[in-house]
Structure 1
Amino acid sequence: MLTANLIRTKRDGGVLNAEQWRFLIEGYCGGEVTDYQMSALAMAIFFRGLDRRETAELTRCMVDSGERLPRVSDRPRVDKHSTGGLGDKVSLILAPLLACCDVDVPMISGRGLGRTGGTLDKLESIPGYQTQLSIEQSSRVLKDVGCFIVGATESIAPADRRLYGLRDVTATVESVGLITASILSKKLAASLDALVMDVKVGSAGFMPSIQQATELADSLREVGVEAGLPTIPVLSDMDQPLGRAIGNANEVNESLDVLDGGGPEEVRALTLRLSAELLVATKQAGDLQTAEGLLARKLDSGEARQRFERMVHEQGGKLSGHLPLGKQRDTVAERSGWVESIDCPAIGDAIISMGGGRRKTTDPVEPSVGIDLHFRVGDRVETGQPLWTVYEGQVACPPIQPVRMSETSVPARPLILQRKSGG
């Protein structure tokens, strides 16, 4: 087989079989398939797509490119994954929260893709926090704490780790097949008993329409179930950032607020719902209402905050309160009205321009830059109230106008748009 011929097949709308996918993925990991060839293949997939069988084969090959995590207890193993969006810091709260409820949460996360922030980048805002642990190290943390949050290493789905970085800088992120294979390869390697998928819908994520999000949710559920992993997709709103804080250290700080029983209501509500889905799926609770009540008590008591601090400590981090942010600059409302919409791409691009995200895979990330939004769609704003706050680093924030106002009232957007039953 020749790599160029396989790229040509996908470019022309053809279908690759299991042997061909294995040739490509093993060749990529072994150096016979180059980054530029894999970039060309990713672009062909972006335009031509993958059918369900191809997606399953690609996922399987990515899992087989590395090792699987061992079980460290007889507790259920669960995880949550989000397709990504501005201000989505749920993973930082959910992992320690569920660890308080007699389940193990071995969370393998990623870095920022495009405009969306990455869980690993956020955690690396904490001085000393190590996102790259060996299987032995992560297993020890899981046994002692009940959760960890690490990145995919050369041992776990190494093919995805390399392809993930290429997709970010080659404009091939928004592919249902590639997203499905990327997510599920890491989750299958984690030896999970259940997975809840937070599929974001709107301009601040990768799936702008409900139709596209539904296609991805169906793909994740079907490929997950075929591989033996019950997968529960939940579609949630991402036509505006989740919560108030956007940016790496900024989102860690907001996560701490939620772990203390406070923080934005929408962040707390989504975290409780996704966590509850997993407790019900693993029969740790009989229904969602009971599960959410248990989880809320863990947040309000401070138990989840203590578990988070233990995880950070075990992964080398030094956390002594809220993290420092950049130079603060506020913008106030020039007139009264209601928030009609939020320009999410403008916010994401502004943070990248200040160094809070990457233009290429080797770019460093400045953790202290970010943006706070003080209102959500549908909120009433009075003249002179702060609309947004920018935290600048060495690079100033470009001029932005992320909030569009209306003179008439605007309905609030629902947080949970749809739930699809798992397998």
Structure 2
Amino acid sequence: MDAVRIIEAKRDGRELDDDEVDWIIDAYTRGVVPPEQMAALAMAVYFRGLSGRELARWTAAMVASGTRLDFAGLERGGRPVPTVDKHSTGGVGDAVTLVLTPLLATWDVAVPQLSGRGLGHTGGTLDKLEAIPGWRADLDTDGMRRILGETGAVICAAGGDLAPADRALYALRDVTGTVPSIPLIASSIMSKKIAEGTGALVLDVKCGSGAFMTDRDDAEELARAMVGIGTEAGLRCGALVTAMHTPLGRAVGNALEVAECVEILAGGGPADMIELTCALAEEALQSVGIADDPRPRLTDGRAMDSYRAMIRAQGGDPDAPLPVAPYVETLRAPADGVLRW
């Protein structure tokens, strides 16, 4: 194989065959193909795109660059359970994972939620949970499996052996102006989700001024691309395109968002967070053959009990006080009105 010829082929709009895709991803991950050549290919993909077949193969090659977890045969209470996960493309105040994961675990399912850190202006789920004293993000596969069997819910960091090609390629995209490429975004997200071993996946693709996708047509294209990749890989996969024109909920900041999620789990909280959480829960449950209304479980204590068990299983103290900012300033509006931005 010749990297230059692969770059030229994509530059000129030709579809890459499976062997070419497999070789270039593997060779770049192993350091055989240098960054400048992969940067050129990423830019060619940015302008020329990838066909559905190319995109599925590109993602599969990224998955194959590392370990793929397998939760087949996972049991809770002596009964086998399906696995289901959720991914959001990120926004401001989006702490839905902290409520959705334990909520889903109140049914006979397991939720192996591999999450990340803050990216750009969007907050990271792991950063938020680390506001809870003692909570730890790093678990090995045996630890994940044990906690999933006990509580049905895990939120943790992805191991370094999951889709290492994605980490290498993302670092390159970040410095070459190719982060906004929809095929490269889709393959980056889905390679990690496929590698984590979930059987079903619901995607929350944000659209609006507070999202990476500001245009709805682009958000829908990204959603279709990711669902196509997931389906090709054997996942039961669905997506919602949701608004991010304004922050979700009423809190922005790690500890503040955790406190707001606890309020929701206690039966209160802002309506927009509750509606989105329940919409995603319904989609996730349907993907594993469960037709049920999640709303009662947010108010009857079952979701709260699940959350507390999940936090304790990862070393956290759900009763410990959350950090408080050392300096607080109240900004008062000089008059009644509507804030626009």
* Counterpart-to-counterpart distance in 2, 1:108 and 1:34: 30
TM-score relative to the length of structure 2: 0.89
* Corresponding letter in the other structure for 1:154: G
* Counterpart-to-counterpart distance in 2, 1:148 and 1:194: 15
**Number of aligned residues:** 334
| 2:92/2:123 contact within 8 Å kept | yes
Query: Is 1:258 matched with 2:257?
Result: no
Alignment partner, residue 118 of structure 2 = 112
Alignment partner, residue 269 of structure 1 = 275
**Secondary structure class of the residue paired with 1:337:** coil
Aligned-pair CA distance for 1:304? 1.8
* Corresponding letter in the other structure for 1:132: D
1:94-141 per-position Cα deviation (integer Å, ceiling 9, x unaligned):
111101111110112222222222222222333443323221121111
Q: Kindly tell me: are residues 315 and 140 of structure 1, through their superposed partners in 2, closer, same or farther at Cα, counting changes over 3 Å?
A: same
**Secondary structure class of the residue paired with 1:111:** coil
| 2:111/2:153 contact within 8 Å kept | yes
- Specify which of 97, 120, 129 is matched with residue 91 of structure 1: 97
Q: Kindly tell me: are residues 335 and 14 of structure 1, through their superposed partners in 2, closer, same or farther at Cα, counting changes over 3 Å?
A: farther
* Counterpart-to-counterpart distance in 1, 2:250 and 2:70: 37
Aligned-pair CA distance for 1:224? 1.6
Q: Kindly tell me: are residues 117 and 171 of structure 1, through their superposed partners in 2, closer, same or farther at Cα, counting changes over 3 Å?
A: farther
Higher strand share: 1
Higher helix share: 2
Q: Kindly tell me: are residues 98 and 334 of structure 1, through their superposed partners in 2, closer, same or farther at Cα, counting changes over 3 Å?
A: same
Alignment partner, residue 235 of structure 2 = 229
Q: Kindly tell me: are residues 325 and 47 of structure 1, through their superposed partners in 2, closer, same or farther at Cα, counting changes over 3 Å?
A: farther
1:174-194 per-position Cα deviation (integer Å, ceiling 9, x unaligned):
221122112222222233332
* Corresponding letter in the other structure for 2:52: R
| 2:65/2:163 contact within 8 Å kept | yes
Aligned-pair CA distance for 1:80? 1.0
- Specify which of 68, 75, 79 is matched with residue 81 of structure 2: 75
Structure 2 runs not aligned, ≥5 long:
none
**Secondary structure class of the residue paired with 2:201:** strand
**Secondary structure class of the residue paired with 1:332:** coil
Alignment partner, residue 121 of structure 1 = 127
TM-score relative to the length of structure 1: 0.73
Q: Kindly tell me: are residues 332 and 137 of structure 1, through their superposed partners in 2, closer, same or farther at Cα, counting changes over 3 Å?
A: same
| 1:152/1:158 contact within 8 Å kept | no
**Which structure is higher in RCO with an 8 Å CA cutoff and minimum separation 6?**
2
| 2:132/2:322 contact within 8 Å kept | no
Let me know the Cα RMSD of the aligned residues.
2.3
* Corresponding letter in the other structure for 2:29: C
* Counterpart-to-counterpart distance in 1, 2:323 and 2:36: 39
Aligned-pair CA distance for 1:36? 5.4
* Counterpart-to-counterpart distance in 2, 1:124 and 1:66: 27
* Counterpart-to-counterpart distance in 2, 1:91 and 1:234: 15
Alignment partner, residue 322 of structure 1 = 322
Q: Kindly tell me: are residues 2 and 97 of structure 1, through their superposed partners in 2, closer, same or farther at Cα, counting changes over 3 Å?
A: same
* Corresponding letter in the other structure for 2:302: E
1:272-307 per-position Cα deviation (integer Å, ceiling 9, x unaligned):
11011121222222xxxxx23xx2222212322232
* Corresponding letter in the other structure for 1:306: D
* Counterpart-to-counterpart distance in 1, 2:285 and 2:124: 25
Q: Kindly tell me: are residues 241 and 37 of structure 1, through their superposed partners in 2, closer, same or farther at Cα, counting changes over 3 Å?
A: farther
1:48-81 per-position Cα deviation (integer Å, ceiling 9, x unaligned):
3222222111110111122222222221211111
**Secondary structure class of the residue paired with 1:283:** coil
* Counterpart-to-counterpart distance in 1, 2:253 and 2:36: 31
Q: Kindly tell me: are residues 128 and 170 of structure 1, through their superposed partners in 2, closer, same or farther at Cα, counting changes over 3 Å?
A: farther
* Counterpart-to-counterpart distance in 2, 1:108 and 1:130: 13
